[in-house]
Amino acid sequence: MTKLLIHKPALFFHALILSLSVAWSGYAVAETLSFVQCVNMALQQNPDLIGSQALVSQAAAGLRQAKGNRVPTLTASEDVVGTNDALTAFGLKLSERQATFNNFGAGQFTGPSALGIAPANLNNPGFVHNFDTRLEILAPVYTGGMIEGGIKQARANVEAAQQGNISARQHVIFQVLQAYEGVHAARAFVGVTQQAETAARSLLAMMNNMLKNGTVVKSDLLLAQVRLQDVRVQRLQAQDALDGALEQLHILLGVPFDHPLDVGEWAEIKPVSAPIQTLRQTALENNPGILALRKQTQAEAAKVDMARAAWQPQVGLMLRQDWNDAQMGLGASSYTIGGSVSWVAFDGGVTHAKVDQAQASKNETQARLTQAEAGLAYQVDEAVRKANEAEKQLAEREAALSQIEEAVSLVNKRYANGLTTITEQLDAQAQLDKARADVVSARYALVVQRANLKLALGQLDPNAL
């Protein structure tokens, strides 16, 4: 299949190609996506986000499980037993409400003289069947805070997972931005090298004419040829960089490499204007990574409370309904009500060790949080500095480009009139190429650094950039 990639066609040419692609399915037109479209596609298909969303679901299931521990449990069971054990068999007959005087061997009792006789029916009851149908309710009354601690821990884990998912989403948005703008930057570099190659070809043609007229020496022509070869190599490198940037975008979007893609306009990232102290505070309040760590710290604190609950008494209530019968069915009915209180008096220091372990885990998480908060403040400061620097550099690079373009035009005229050397002419052209590349780099850096600041602030939303 032949594939036609459309980058920046004129409106008429674009319409013509679209018409041809409909009429002839042998051509595949590159799908042009805006930055927001790229982000939306990545958020739906990126494997990292699928994993973080699974963690949210896992934590939510843990919360439901923790809440379920404070609700009474109802179990239904059917126990079937058969035995000729005398004691058990007689008990089963009692449970079935089937015991008779004859089960005691009453027929063998003839008076006081028979007191020494072992009753046959009592000692050898035969094989007895029993079907016990049971409903049982177990209800926790007091657990010393263990259930409440479990719910707090599970709820904090859910909130931490949710913030972690938000953080993952914003990092994916940032990665998509880098790739998306990387395509623009790489394509701009391709354009720079194409302009440089056009200029080098023009210079070489001029050298040939001037050499024929005897106004330059052959060494000038050779230098012009070397210049053209260098520029061709640079163009190939720039094209490779463009292909790599498009492939990276394919990976982030979860799109097969054989599906042609193109990018829309450059993403516009508005600057953030606020005092640095305000930005730091905003980041500490909104950064999802920091918020996730805070929730993890809360979960660890709840884990400490759960460990300490083992020192408290555990109180429970039991309600049970039984139906006993010699065959399957709801025969003799009976119910049981009971309660239990247990208190660990000595466990060899096991509970104390669990509390120490939970406390140490909490301290470790708190230390990571403190370190992350300090690092976030530095990240905000660094992003502000780099964004301001990139903004100034872009303005300077654009001004320098305007100046060098005028300078190159003058140098070319001077060289054509024999007033300067080929070295100065090539040097001027090289400076022009560099100035054009510098503008592209500065524009890319400005967009990325502004986005990096919004990432630190927890405000990287593609719909509000």
Maximum alpha-carbon separation in the chain: 154
Q: Is residue 177 located within the same domain as residue 260?
A: yes
Among the listed residues 451, 419, 421, the one whose alpha carbon sits nearest the alpha carbon of residue 174: 451
Q: Is residue 295 located within the same domain as residue 353?
A: yes
- Residue 338: both structure tokens together: 């009971």
Instruction: Give the count of domains, the chain.
Output: 2
Q: Is residue 414 located within the same domain as residue 338?
A: no
Among the listed residues 368, 365, 347, the one whose alpha carbon sits nearest the alpha carbon of residue 304: 365
pLDDT above 70: residue 13: no
pLDDT reported for residue 20: 30
Decide if 14 is inside a domain: no
Report the share of the chain in percent with pLDDT over 70.
90
Q: Is residue 101 located within the same domain as residue 219?
A: no
Decide if 8 is inside a domain: no
Q: Is residue 442 located within the same domain as residue 327?
A: no
Q: Is residue 124 located within the same domain as residue 223?
A: no
Q: Is residue 289 located within the same domain as residue 401?
A: yes
Q: How confident is the model at residue 421 (pLDDT cuts 50, 70, 90)?
A: low
Residue 79 parent element (H or E): strand 73-83
Residues 184-212: what's their mean pLDDT? 78
pLDDT reported for residue 417: 72
pLDDT reported for residue 150: 94
Q: How confident is the model at residue 187 (pLDDT cuts 50, 70, 90)?
A: confident
Decide if 18 is inside a domain: no
The domain of 248 spans: 34-69+149-309+349-457
- Residue 79: both structure tokens together: 């126990």
Q: Is residue 250 located within the same domain as residue 396?
A: yes
What pTM was estimated for this model as a whole? 0.74
Q: Is residue 158 located within the same domain as residue 224?
A: yes
Decide if 212 is inside a domain: yes
Decide if 142 is inside a domain: yes
Q: Is residue 278 located within the same domain as residue 394?
A: yes
Residues 175-199: what's their mean pLDDT? 82
Decide if 168 is inside a domain: yes
Decide if 463 is inside a domain: no
Task: Report how far residue 167's alpha carbon sits from residue 145's, in angstroms, rounded to the nearest whole number.
Answer: 32
pLDDT reported for residue 364: 96
Beta 128-142 vs 314-325: how paired, if at all? antiparallel
Residues 134-146: what's their mean pLDDT? 93
The CATH number of the domain holding residue 240 is 1.20.1600.10
Residue 214: exposed, middle, or buried by beta-carbon count in 10 A (0-12, 13-18, 19+)?
A: exposed
Decide if 381 is inside a domain: yes
pLDDT tens digit sequence for 355-380:
999 999 999 999 999 999 999 999 99
Task: Report how far residue 382's alpha carbon sits from residue 378's, in angstroms, rounded to the nearest whole number.
Answer: 6
Q: Is residue 199 located within the same domain as residue 57?
A: yes
Q: Is residue 39 located within the same domain as residue 92?
A: no
pLDDT above 50: residue 11: no
